[in-house]
Structure 1
Amino acid sequence: MSKYHKNHREKLKKPSNFSAQHLLISKRLIHDMIDLARIGSTDTVLDIGAGTGALTVPLAEKAGHVLAIETDPAFVDKLLGKMKDSSNIRVKQYDFLEIPLPRNPFAVVANIPYSITTPIMGKLLECPGLPLQRAVLLVEMGAAKRFTAVPIQDPRILSWRMQYDIRLVRTVSPLHFAPPPQVDSAILTIHRRKKPLIAAPHQPKFKALAAYGLRDARQPLFAALSGVFTPPQMAKLVKVLRVDRELPIGRLNEEQWGTVFHTMLQHVPANRWPRLRKGAGSKPKKRK
């Protein structure tokens, strides 16, 4: 046994929030996910919630480096046992939400734990400077629909979608897992936009605008943003957007939100820009 294997066995910890994972057993689905990710020989790929290595090992046949992240010590032990002929796999027994992410460009291909889907997505997509290039994820169907919903109602998800193209590719039945979950799953693809709709330095300002505008996604555009744009400014904005002022604000697409934001920067005095109060979960307010 190598020194690397011994060190990892000595660091085994009790599993935390990755318990009750539904292991992927469909080889066809595994290969479909890897094909969707377009993994190349120089890519670094993360397998989050790697389980016993159903994705890890075939990923290693395509990628330059694979980082398998798993918290269950029994699964980690099995993963280490499968690494004998794979020098390009590293196994880390960590809670993904606590592990530092690569500083160089990377991809993710994973059957992620459903109980912490949104926190995982937040860690991957929240920071525009993170060098995530693309991801192919198996997630619970309800979550997949929420991340790709039209109209857009969640300002946090909207901010992700200004940086990444997120798509629900197809439904996956419970029969592809052991034990089978009680709900359908879905393949979700995520690709970094070649040209982000909001530049990284402007992300905090955009988040504040999105949170302010989407307080009620059913509100007409003119009413939702009346505290930001004056009536004459709003009249010009709807002409640029080519929409009716009565359009529910939640029906704006990502490109239109980009137009709203850049119009605000260009024509609205900074004292009228929305801002987020300090502290998690605080509601946005408009500057006086």
Structure 2
Amino acid sequence: MPAVPVRSERDRRRRELSQNYLRGAGAAQFLRAVRLDPAGLCLEVGAGNGILTGRLAARCRQLIAYEVDPDAAGQLESRLRDQPNVRVVIGDFLAARPPRQPFEVVGNVPFGRTAPIVDWCLAARSMTAATLITQLEYARKRTGGYGRWSLLTVSTWPEVQWDLLGTIPRTQFRPVPRVDAGILRLARHPEPLIAPGRLGAYRRMVQAGFGGAGGSLLASLRRQYPAAALPAAFQAAGIGSKTVVAFVSPAQWVELFRALERRA
């Protein structure tokens, strides 16, 4: 029986870890989309073979690179030993405690772990921004790319803006995944669009809207708000009376909440 090529074995291990490493052109495209604070802290998730790590480290004060594969992490440490502002952590990024100081997250996210990594970023109060490579479909769903908006995006919009910065063809990865990738950026607003003390009320409104038993957003919110207050608030937010919840943009949700607050 012929020996299994080393390259194929590496590809098998990467697939087991849900890792698809970027190639040169794809890495350059992603790096053009990344904006780091030169005096800041950056956390890299899924550092892999380090194709991004050294160049990210040159753009920030300190870089902490997380890699779950011990072999890849060991090679990364050897490759970056001359960059004193880099620390390689062998382990799961999700097990890390968020720094107290402001920081940014950058990384080629394992597709199978996108949702928990995004949740980690959203929950980290000191995170100022995250620029992540995800499945293109995920990035589009979260940024209104299909003309529809998700509950997660709308719920977090007063604190975090979601943007799709570009598309990376699947051929720019090794091993080649089944789908193309998107560059997703989460940017925390310097100040929330809604007063912190009212964010809970905003999210309850959003939950009520998305939790409606079909029909329009207006019909769903009639359970929570006085019917007389809704038409004028919907008009102020530019939302039609028959608009289905998924087609209401995050900016319209924020304006709708503000209008209802003024009429409370």
- TM-score, shorter chain, exceeding 0.5: yes
Among 162, 181, 185, the alignment partner of 1:185 is 181
Superposition deviation, residue 264 in structure 1: 4.1
Q: Distance in 1 between matches of 2:29 and 2:143?
A: 21
Check whether the contact 1:76–1:93 (CA below 8 A) recurs between aligned residues: yes
Check whether the contact 1:44–1:105 (CA below 8 A) recurs between aligned residues: yes
Check whether the contact 1:71–1:95 (CA below 8 A) recurs between aligned residues: yes
Check whether the contact 2:154–2:249 (CA below 8 A) recurs between aligned residues: no
AA in 2 matched with 1:73: P
Q: What's the counterpart of residue 159 of structure 2? A: 163
Percent of residue pairs identical: 25
Superposition deviation, residue 152 in structure 1: 4.3
Counterparts of 1:1-288 in structure 2, within 5 Å, are 19-26=17-24, 28-126=25-123, 130-149=125-144, 151-216=147-212, 219-268=215-264
Superposition deviation, residue 46 in structure 1: 1.2
Check whether the contact 1:238–1:244 (CA below 8 A) recurs between aligned residues: yes
Check whether the contact 2:18–2:112 (CA below 8 A) recurs between aligned residues: no
SS of aligned partner of 2:258: helix
In the superposition, relative to structure 1, how do residues 183 and 209 fare at CA in structure 2: closer, same or farther (>3 Å)? Answer: same
Superposition deviation, residue 265 in structure 1: 4.1
Deviates more, 1:245-254 or 1:59-68: 245-254
Report the TM-score when normalising by structure 2.
Answer: 0.85
Q: Distance in 2 between matches of 1:217 and 1:187?
A: 34
Superposition deviation, residue 227 in structure 1: 0.6
Q: Distance in 2 between matches of 1:18 and 1:159?
A: 33
Q: Distance in 1 between matches of 2:58 and 2:164?
A: 26
AA in 2 matched with 1:170: G
Q: Distance in 2 between matches of 1:90 and 1:18?
A: 25
Check whether the contact 2:20–2:174 (CA below 8 A) recurs between aligned residues: yes
In the superposition, relative to structure 1, how do residues 51 and 39 fare at CA in structure 2: closer, same or farther (>3 Å)? Answer: same
RMSD (CA atoms): 2.3
Superposition deviation, residue 117 in structure 1: 0.3
Q: Distance in 1 between matches of 2:138 and 2:262?
A: 36
Q: What's the counterpart of residue 277 of structure 1? A: none
Superposition deviation, residue 260 in structure 1: 2.6
Q: Distance in 2 between matches of 1:243 and 1:153?
A: 14
Q: Distance in 1 between matches of 2:216 and 2:61?
A: 50
Check whether the contact 2:46–2:110 (CA below 8 A) recurs between aligned residues: yes
- Runs of 5+ consecutive residues of structure 2 not aligned to the other structure: 1-12
Superposition deviation, residue 153 in structure 1: 4.5
Check whether the contact 1:18–1:49 (CA below 8 A) recurs between aligned residues: no
In the superposition, relative to structure 1, how do residues 217 and 19 fare at CA in structure 2: closer, same or farther (>3 Å)? Answer: farther
Q: Distance in 2 between matches of 1:217 and 1:86?
A: 56
Deviation by residue 1:132-170 (Cα, 9 ceiling, x = unmatched): 222221111111111112544432221223322211122
Superposition deviation, residue 229 in structure 1: 1.6
Deviates more, 1:151-160 or 1:49-58: 151-160
SS of aligned partner of 1:208: helix
Check whether the contact 1:153–1:214 (CA below 8 A) recurs between aligned residues: no
SS of aligned partner of 2:121: helix
Equivalences, count: 250
Check whether the contact 1:37–1:134 (CA below 8 A) recurs between aligned residues: no
Superposition deviation, residue 250 in structure 1: 2.4
Report the TM-score when normalising by structure 1.
Answer: 0.78
AA in 1 matched with 2:82: D
Q: Distance in 2 between matches of 1:236 and 1:45?
A: 45
Superposition deviation, residue 198 in structure 1: 2.7
In the superposition, relative to structure 1, how do residues 71 and 200 fare at CA in structure 2: closer, same or farther (>3 Å)? Answer: farther
